[in-house]
């Protein structure tokens, strides 16, 4: 009997401690829990993948050393250029090298990464260390990004969305506004659709060139991002779901690509070869009235976040306090890459790697990161958008954050299925070919043929399953 009593007492004590621990876990934030739990792995080393350049500097100079100081876990950073991140991680996984503990995964690569068995389901780690309530703070579009086939494999650390930037002083000029209304029959304002984007670009170019052109856009690099947004906003779908034949050469696609090519005529000379840097330089120099790009332009055009030596290449701004922010024409901007942390299947330090990811992803730590000059981390949590500290960084920061929040909530996810990278590359090449002078219909016909060949190579049924899983996400098409 004494043994039974002792067993019951010990059991009750254990239950009480478990309940207390659970209550304590809910009282703590995810950053604190991660730091405290990681101390158990003091003396170990984790290898973390980062995009080469500004992103890697965050881990190398700030967060890696801080995590090691607070936990005793050493963080080694492997820098990879963007175009090498996905293939290099998959190759290392297939080789069984265990080279990486915490992988960097763009949402568009998640299906491929999971299908290759390269990353693990995070739920056991979340159950052990997480603060589930913190996920309620993530913008729904980005929260959805973290899942594949109903399981969570990623932790958001960077929330991208394309934004329309425009010169408020030029749009608010009373004489220009009256002339525009007379010519086009509607108000001069941030464009509600891409036809109006072209109207405004031509009107302002005619009025101000060669000192200022009506718009400037990115026309090189990852052009699948720009085209796939405009195509879906116009109602386009990537495949016929029954046959899985590509539909990216239908009349909607041809009209969209033709419009993109024709609108370049109202922009700055040489616009056909502009990339991110040329676009940023033109905006900061006051040479364009309107553009579409990633969130950093909102900060850098204000002269904010450019005081770090690593950002000395950012041109000085002449348009501080003149730039306004708007959701892209059509109301559904491309979410345009973004990044998550995922624990590698071959890692020998999964717990420590997960805990570094949880810390970086946490509400408290991520707010610091999205406000830092290095890292190129952009807001993805509601608390980021509503942060009084962030809103005070410059006079228009509150408006900027509102646009990021609302744009992301209605944003279009990058397409993601099997061998996504190859489909993306093919689309970018086709768009650039049309911008460089090839007939848009011919460029898109060649693209559709290449996509169909890829689908046949992968297997129609296998690709259909992956496509249907992606298309079921609310951010895939945003059908009205």
Query: 147 pairs with which residues across the strands?
Result: 152
Q: For 270-294, what is the mean pLDDT?
A: 97
Q: For 47-64, what is the mean pLDDT?
A: 96
CA distance 139 to 219: 29
Whether residue 118 contacts residue 347, with contact meaning beta carbons closer than 8 Å, is answered with no
CA distance 104 to 77: 11
CA distance 306 to 315: 9
Neighbour count for residue 235 (Cβ, 10 Å): 12
Q: For 225-237, what is the mean pLDDT?
A: 97
DSSP code of 61?
I
Q: For 234-239, what is the mean pLDDT?
A: 97
Whether residue 451 contacts residue 228, with contact meaning beta carbons closer than 8 Å, is answered with no
Architecture per CATH, 30-153+339-377: 3-Layer(aba) Sandwich (3.40)
| Residue 13: pLDDT over 90 | no
User: For residue 478, what pLDDT is reported?
Assistant: 85
User: For residue 307, what pLDDT is reported?
Assistant: 85
| Residue 41: pLDDT over 90 | yes
What does each C-alpha distance from 427 to 387, 447, 476 come to in angstroms?
A: 38, 6, 17
CA distance 472 to 468: 6
Given pLDDT bands bounded at 50, 70 and 90, which one contains residue 15?
very low
Given pLDDT bands bounded at 50, 70 and 90, which one contains residue 28?
confident
SS3 213: strand
Neighbour count for residue 39 (Cβ, 10 Å): 12
Whether residue 143 contacts residue 150, with contact meaning beta carbons closer than 8 Å, is answered with no
**What does R_g of the chain's alpha carbons equal in angstroms?**
24
Average pLDDT over the chain reads 93
User: For residue 18, what pLDDT is reported?
Assistant: 38
pLDDT digits (tens, 9 = 90+) for 188-204: 999 999 999 999 999 99
Neighbour count for residue 103 (Cβ, 10 Å): 32
Given pLDDT bands bounded at 50, 70 and 90, which one contains residue 27?
low
User: For residue 8, what pLDDT is reported?
Assistant: 36
Shared fold status for 30-153+339-377 and 159-334+411-480: yes
Among the listed residues 355, 295, 348, the one whose alpha carbon sits nearest the alpha carbon of residue 155: 355
Q: For 247-256, what is the mean pLDDT?
A: 98
User: For residue 257, what pLDDT is reported?
Assistant: 98
CA distance 23 to 31: 16
Whether residue 363 contacts residue 30, with contact meaning beta carbons closer than 8 Å, is answered with yes
User: For residue 480, what pLDDT is reported?
Assistant: 55
> What are the residue boundaries of the structural domains of the chain, listed by start?
30-153+339-377, 159-334+411-480
DSSP 123-171: HHHHHHH--GGGGGGB-HHHHHHTEETTEE--EEEE----EEEEEHHHH
Given pLDDT bands bounded at 50, 70 and 90, which one contains residue 19?
very low
Among the listed residues 49, 42, 44, the one whose alpha carbon sits nearest the alpha carbon of residue 70: 42
Q: What is the pTM of this model?
A: 0.92
SS3 47: strand
The CATH code for residues 159-334+411-480 is: 3.40.190.10
DSSP code of 239?
E
CA distance 189 to 166: 9
Q: Is the dihedral of CA 351, 357, 360, 364 positive or negative?
A: negative
Tell me the backbone φ, ψ of residue 403, rounded to 5 degrees: -65, -40
| Residue 9: pLDDT over 90 | no
User: For residue 70, what pLDDT is reported?
Assistant: 98
SS3 480: coil
Per residue in 259-275, is it b (16+ CB within 10 Å) or e — as a string?
A: bbbebbebbbeebeebe
SS3 242: coil
Higher pLDDT, 344 or 478: 344
Given pLDDT bands bounded at 50, 70 and 90, which one contains residue 82?
very high
Q: For 249-266, what is the mean pLDDT?
A: 98
| Residue 287: pLDDT over 50 | yes
CA distance 170 to 300: 20
pLDDT digits (tens, 9 = 90+) for 420-457: 999 999 999 999 999 999 999 999 999 999 999 999 99
| Residue 24: pLDDT over 80 | no
| Largest CA-CA distance found in the chain, in angstroms, rounded | 96
User: For residue 194, what pLDDT is reported?
Assistant: 98
Given pLDDT bands bounded at 50, 70 and 90, which one contains residue 289?
very high
Q: For 368-374, what is the mean pLDDT?
A: 95
CA distance 58 to 377: 9
CA torsion, ordered 200, 204, 205, 207, to nearest 10 deg:
140
Per residue in 358-385, is it b (16+ CB within 10 Å) or e — as a string?
A: bbbbbbebbbbbbbbbbbbbbbbbbebb
Percent of the chain with pLDDT over 90: 92
**Mutual orientation of helices 440-458 and 460-471 as an angle, nearest 10°?**
110
């Amino acid at each position: 009997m004494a043994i039974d009593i002792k067993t019951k007492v010990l059991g009750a004590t254990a239950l009480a401690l478990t309940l207390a621990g659970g209550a304590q876990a809910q009282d703590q934030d995810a950053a604190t829990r991660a730091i405290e739990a990681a101390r158990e792995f003091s003396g170990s080393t984790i290898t973390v993948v980062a995009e080469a350049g500004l992103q890697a500097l965050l881990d190398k100079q700030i967060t890696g050393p801080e995590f090691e100081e607070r936990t005793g876990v050493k963080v080694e950073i492997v820098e990879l250029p963007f175009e090498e991140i996905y293939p290099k991680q998959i190759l290392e996984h297939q080789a069984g090298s265990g080279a990486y503990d915490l992988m960097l995964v763009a949402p568009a690569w998640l299906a491929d990464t999971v299908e290759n068995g390269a990353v693990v389901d995070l739920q056991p780690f979340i159950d052990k260390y997480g603060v589930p309530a913190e996920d309620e703070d993530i913008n729904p579009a980005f929260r959805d990004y973290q899942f594949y086939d109903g399981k969570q494999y990623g932790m958001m650390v960077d929330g991208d969305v394309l934004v329309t930037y425009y010169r408020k002083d030029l749009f608010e000029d009373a004489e220009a506004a009256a002339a525009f209304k007379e010519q086009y029959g509607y108000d001069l304002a941030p464009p509600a659709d891409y036809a109006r984007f072209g109207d405004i670009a031509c009107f302002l170019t005619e009025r101000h060139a060669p000192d200022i052109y009506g718009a400037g856009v990115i026309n090189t690099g990852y052009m699948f991002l720009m085209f796939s947004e405009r195509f879906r906003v116009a109602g386009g779908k990537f495949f016929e779901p029954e046959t899985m034949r590509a539909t990216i050469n239908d009349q909607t696609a041809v009209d969209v690509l033709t419009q993109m090519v024709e609108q370049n005529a109202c922009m700055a000379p040489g616009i056909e070869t502009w990339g991110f840097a040329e676009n940023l330089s033109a905006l900061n120099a006051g040479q364009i009235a309107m553009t579409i790009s990633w969130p950093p332009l909102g900060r850098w055009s204000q002269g904010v976040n450019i005081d770090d030596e690593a950002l000395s290449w950012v041109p000085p701004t002449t348009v501080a306090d003149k730039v306004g922010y708007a959701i892209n024409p059509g109301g559904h901007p491309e979410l345009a890459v973004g990044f998550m942390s995922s624990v590698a299947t071959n890692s020998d330090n999964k717990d420590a790697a997960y805990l570094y990811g949880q810390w970086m992803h946490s509400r408290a730590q991520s707010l610091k990161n999205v406000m830092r000059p290095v890292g190129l981390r952009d807001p993805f949590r509601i608390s980021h958008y509503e942060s009084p500290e962030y809103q005070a960084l410059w006079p228009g920061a509150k408006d900027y954050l509102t646009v990021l929040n609302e744009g992301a909530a209605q944003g279009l996810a990058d397409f993601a299925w099997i061998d996504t990278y190859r489909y993306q590359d093919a689309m970018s090449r086709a768009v650039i070919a049309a911008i460089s002078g090839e007939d848009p219909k011919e460029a898109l016909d060649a693209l559709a043929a290449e996509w169909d060949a890829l689908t046949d190579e992968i297997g129609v049924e296998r690709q259909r399953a992956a496509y249907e899983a992606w298309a079921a996400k609310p951010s895939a098409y945003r059908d009205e």
